[in-house]
Amino acid sequence: MLSSVAARLSRRARGLQPLAVRAFQSSGDKLGEAEPVPLSKLKDSFLDGTSSSYLEELEERYRANPRSVDKTWASFFHSMDMGVPAVAVAEAYDAFERGEVTSPLTAAAISNQTIQESMRLLLMVRAFQVMGHYASTLDPLGIEERPKVKELDPAYYGFTEKDLDREFYLGTWNMEGFMAEGRQVRTLREILARLRETYCGSIGYEYMHIPDSERCNWLRARIETAEPQVYSQEEKLRILDRLTWSEMFESFLANKYTAAKRFGLEGCEALIPGMKALIDSASDRGVDSVVIGMPHRGRLNVLANVMRKPMEAVFSEFAGRKPAKGGEGDTGDTYMGSGDVKYHLGTSYDRPTISGKRIHLSLLANPSHLEAVNTVAMGKVRAKQYYTDDNERIANLPILLHGDGAFAGQGIVYEGLDMSQLPEYTVGGTVHLVVNNQVAFTTDPRKSRSSPYCTDVAKALACPVFHVNADDAEAVVRVCELAAEWRQTWHGDVVIDLVGYRRYGHNEIDEPMFTQPIMYQAIKRHKNALQVYQDTLLKDGDISKEQIRAIADKVQQSLHDAFEGAKAYKPKKGDWLSSYWAGFMSPHQTSRIRNTGVPIELLKEVGEAITRLPEDFTPHRQIAKVYEARKAMVESGQGIDWGMAEALAFGTLLAEGNHVRLSGQDVERGTFSHRHAVVHDQKTGGTFTPLERVFHGQKPKQFTVANSSLSEYGVLGFELGYSIENPNALVIWEAQFGDFANGAQIIFDQFVSSGEAKWLRQTGLTVLLPHGYDGQGPEHSSARMERFLQMVDEDPYQLPTIDESKWFVGGHLGSQIQSCNWQVVNCTTPANYFHVLRRQLHRQFRKPLILFAPKNLLRHPLAKSPLAEFSESAIDKDIQGVRFKRVIMDESSTDRSFTPPQQPDFKRMVFCSGKVYYELAAERAKQGKQGEVALIRMEQMAPFPFDLVMREMRRFPNAEVMWCQEEPMNMGAYLHVQPRLQRSMEAMGRDVPRSIKYSGRPSMASTATGFGEVHAQEQADLINKALDVSY
């Protein structure tokens, strides 16, 4: 027989550690072998006075007849007899007395918990935290087969049925949630129930991959609440109301427009109450502006029920009506663009929230290309944060919606996530909502991703992921609220995976049974989410049938009224002007051409400021020289090179109060080591950016230059989004080499070239694409100029109106440049580069600029400009002030007037563009053909400078027209300029050749040869041919 209870309790008097700590020590505790000490002698509080004699008496009774004492006491003595350490029993009794446990039995049972058991229990809890989501009930249809997770079975840890009613203590000192210190002890049964309820219910939490324990703990505290969280009746009514709107909106559309595609939300209707809760919750935590990017699925529902786009407008668009004259907001301007389908349109709205605040919501227009809008939305938010000084990134929130197929499949998702924490790209966290209908068009998840969840890519960036069953509206609302709280607390991305189904086909006229028969049989039997929620509320007695009906009647009536109202609804004209854009012109409101020259004093001042390095700064020796040389350029007014011209353009724009942002791979130094916008201290490693200090009081980040992640698609999209927010910014994306721009082709095609036409959104985004044939091989020569030219929406055969009377005063071309979709420019002089950059902001409209950037001209001895060419004062008699030159005349010509004096001796006029000019000029000088062959540089290729080309034709009446380029015939500008040159010749009354004479590389599959020798020969041939007038 073991020593008596009294004996073992005596150890209590010797001062022992608290049970919780001791439970994790394997100290070879010999507590059970203590000396017997009479109870009456113990001084311990537990045993003084009446309690000790009471215990003695109880023990005596128990020994005589175990049934004679209360069964808790019986277990208490029994556990002592079974070898529970005395100190544990003493602790247990103390805990009982302090009211922490309901009976001494509880504590005694816990103390019976061995170290082994504690460990196993902890492992089990951990397993639920890490893998519980694999057993969560996410699929509303219940047909998804997921492998059983053995780690979630208590038997895996050696627990048996018998253990279920034993009580355990789980607390640890540094852990939130179930294992938090001071948590109530519970039976294993209760612990398991709470674990299953928490981790394997309608929500599957994935967060244990987050390496930061503070963040993990923060989430754990909110996930592992002691008791399940419940919503109040008022909150439940609100969820019901929102779900009703969501469901009835779709069914109303389905009834009224049976044959129309709308990419309905049915099967994921809880998205609407979820998004609204997310926005309410974000607003309560400081958000006042939300930018939403989303695909087709559920877009109309979001527009109507989240964005509050008038339902009349939605219905009217369904009828396919286009904005009409006399419509709301019509100013007589017919700026309408080519339009887009209803499920791609954007809108913005100020929405009141339930707590009485207002929040600005804007939904970006987007193309069909899934996920392409992601970084555009992020860029727009980043810009908003800059303009509103939201430096903590609290007030402006991006929400991105995704489809399950697209989120897993499109690489841009990762590109955006990778940008999410970069210093100049972070937006302080994006909330991602995946509308996971478990199918992508006709493709099952098994064939569209290689990992268990469509959201797995987000785990690479340590984002928490909350999977939720879309049939459980309250759970959806809960995770949406948690996501908002996470974003506002940790400023990181978070993902909600809303797992539902798709009630109909990919669109409503598609037959899903062809490809997903089993799923669609289940769907046919399945109640919709609104019915499911109504049933739950009724069953729990939370809400009456009458209340449910009242909500449904109200919604039905509103939909009906809006439908009737839509018949007379006059769609608004394009609401393209946001506040920052007030005063900007549509293509139908002609904007004057302005000069872009700068007063010489300002140039000098800026030039001084941007070449000054701090005294205690140690630049690299070569960089010091670069800066000294730049300083000398401004002081002498001579030899401004490319890098300095650019810096002067930036500096003067900044001095005029504009924002300048340059982003791309390695742009801080410049791929070709020509920029050095950021200088590195060779001793401290610190950096200095002179353009950040052009003038006193310059706003932080007013000049931003940022090396980007190695992404083209993501970063170009981001800068595009940035540029559409506010027109008073020069936003530039630079490709490392122009070739790489095709990694961002979707952004060029779907947004930059066509965004204004589709969505009436202007942008002055400037894209620098290094281009030029230097013999570096196929991948570093061509920026694929032909593609950008091919996308110009100009009619090659249509001459613009040319008003001779306005030749020098501006506006002689009417709105030619305003009505084209983008500008394609290839400068050959630093001054022209300076002006074209400044022109982007010095006009009353915005137009994307595709700018082919040079490589060898960066250091070419002749590619230099005098400071005078940057100035506002005219340096020749024919031009009022200095501005960008779309065409640079032959060096023999000086007269810029409409009808210049003729130069009849010239036999050939060679039109060319880019650095080939310098090679032509050098060879021409060598051959002494300056009076025979005119070299005319086309600096702007689109819109085509018909007016200036025709002037040159007037000047050289006897010269034949030739085009010379370095690129192969099927590339470069040849095929673009040919019909335009022909049209110009026709207009001049010249004979029009079947094809324009050509000197350049022959058509090729690859952009350039990989052999240096071949390159040199090709280059010499094309130069010689251009100068050989006998050819």
Backbone φ, ψ for residue 415 (5° rounding): -60, -40
464 or 505, CB closer to Mg ion? 505
Which of ligand TPP, Mg ion, none does residue 387 bind to, with CB < 5 to 8 Å depending on kind?
none
Please report whether residue 497 would count as binding Mg ion according to CB under 5 A.
Answer: no
Total chain residues near Mg ion (CB under 5 A)? 5
Q: What binding mask, one character per residue, do residues 476-515 give for ligand TPP by CB under 6 A, x or -?
A: ------------------------------x---------
State which of positions 439-478 bind Mg ion (CB under 5 A).
440
Between 180 and 373, whose beta carbon lies closer to ligand TPP?
Answer: 373
Which residue in the set 441, 576, 584, 898 belongs to the binding site for ligand TPP (CB under 6 A)? 441
**The entry of ligand TPP, Mg ion, none that residue 435 binds, CB within 5 to 8 Å by partner kind:** ligand TPP
Whole-angstrom CA distances from 406 to 402, 409, 675, 775 are 7, 5, 38, 40
Q: How far apart are CA 537 and CA 282, in angstroms?
A: 27
574 near ligand TPP (CB under 6 A):
no
Residue type at 958 in one-letter notation:
N
Q: Does 439 bind ligand TPP (CB under 6 A)?
A: yes
- Tell me which amino acid residue 88 is: A
Which of 52, 366, 410, 437 touches Mg ion (CB under 5 A)?
437
Which element (helix H / strand E) includes 197?
helix 188-199
Q: In whole angstroms, what is the distance from residue 137 CA to residue 118 CA?
A: 28
**Please, is 925 exposed, middle or buried when counting C-beta atoms within 10 Å of its C-beta (0-12, 13-18, 19+)?**
exposed
Residues in region 418-437 near ligand TPP by CB under 6 A: 435, 437
**Would residue 976 be called left, alpha or beta, if left means φ above 0 and alpha means ψ between -120 and 50 degrees?**
alpha
Kindly state the smallest distance separating residue 272's Cβ from Mg ion, in Å: 17
Q: Which is nearer to Mg ion, 109 or 294 (CB)?
A: 294
Q: How far is the CB of 620 from ligand TPP (least distance, A)?
A: 44
Is 297 a binder of ligand TPP (CB under 6 A)? yes
Between 248 and 265, whose beta carbon lies closer to Mg ion?
265
Could you give the C-alpha distances from 665 to 644, 695, 800, 999, in angstroms and in order? 20, 27, 38, 34
Residue 406 binding ligand TPP, by CB under 6 A: yes
Q: Which is nearer to ligand TPP, 454 or 647 (CB)?
A: 454
Nearest to 133 by CA among 175, 191, 195, 187: 195
**318 is a contact residue toward ligand TPP (CB under 6 A):** no
Options 346, 403, 717, 772; binder of Mg ion; rule CB under 5 A: 403
**Contact stretch for Mg ion (CB under 5 A) within 271-279, 403-411, 639-647, 951-959:** 403-411
Q: Give the residue from 128, 226, 197, 142 showing the smallest Cα distance to 469.
A: 142
Containing 688, the helix (H) or strand (E) segment is strand 687-688
Stretch near ligand TPP under the rule CB under 6 A, chosen from 273-281, 400-408, 530-538, 600-608: 400-408
Backbone angles phi, psi at 158, to 5 degrees: 85, 5
The answer to whether the CB of 716 falls within 8 A of the CB of 664 is no
Distances (CA, A) of 219 to 100, 216, 470, 484: 26, 5, 21, 12
Beta bridge partners of 468: 203, 498
The contacts found for 38-46 with CB under 8 angstroms, 24 or more apart, are: 38/6, 39/6, 39/9, 42/6, 42/9, 42/10, 42/12, 42/13, 43/13, 44/9, 44/12, 44/13, 44/90, 45/94, 46/9, 46/12, 46/90, 46/93, 46/94, 46/97
Torsion of CA 279, 284, 285, 287, to 10 degrees: 50
Among 201, 403, 721, 945, binds ligand TPP (CB under 6 A): 403
**Residue 582: which region, alpha, beta or left (left: phi > 0; alpha: psi -120 to 50)?**
beta
Give the count of residues interacting with ligand TPP (CB under 6 A). Answer: 14
For residues 349 to 388, the per-residue mask of contacts with ligand TPP, x marking binding by CB under 6 A and - elsewhere, is -------------------xxx------------------
Q: Closest approach of Cβ 138 to Mg ion, in Å?
A: 14
CB of 434 to Mg ion, least distance (A): 9
> What is the pattern of x (binds Mg ion, CB under 5 A) and - over residues 349-388?
----------------------------------------
109 binds ligand TPP (CB under 6 A): no
Residue list 580-609, contact with Mg ion (CB under 5 A): none
Q: Token pair of 876, please?
A: 């020749």
Nearer to Mg ion among residue 496 and residue 1026 (C-beta): 496
Give Dmax over CA atoms of the chain in angstroms. 134
Stretch that binds Mg ion, among 398-406, 615-623, 718-726, 875-883 (CB under 5 A): 398-406
Torsion of CA 31, 37, 40, 45, to 10 degrees: -20
**Residue 134 or residue 501: which is nearer to Mg ion going by CB?**
501
Q: Which residues bind to ligand TPP, rule: CB under 6 A?
A: 297, 368-370, 403-406, 435, 437, 439-441, 506
List contacts with Mg ion (CB under 5 A): 403-405, 437, 440
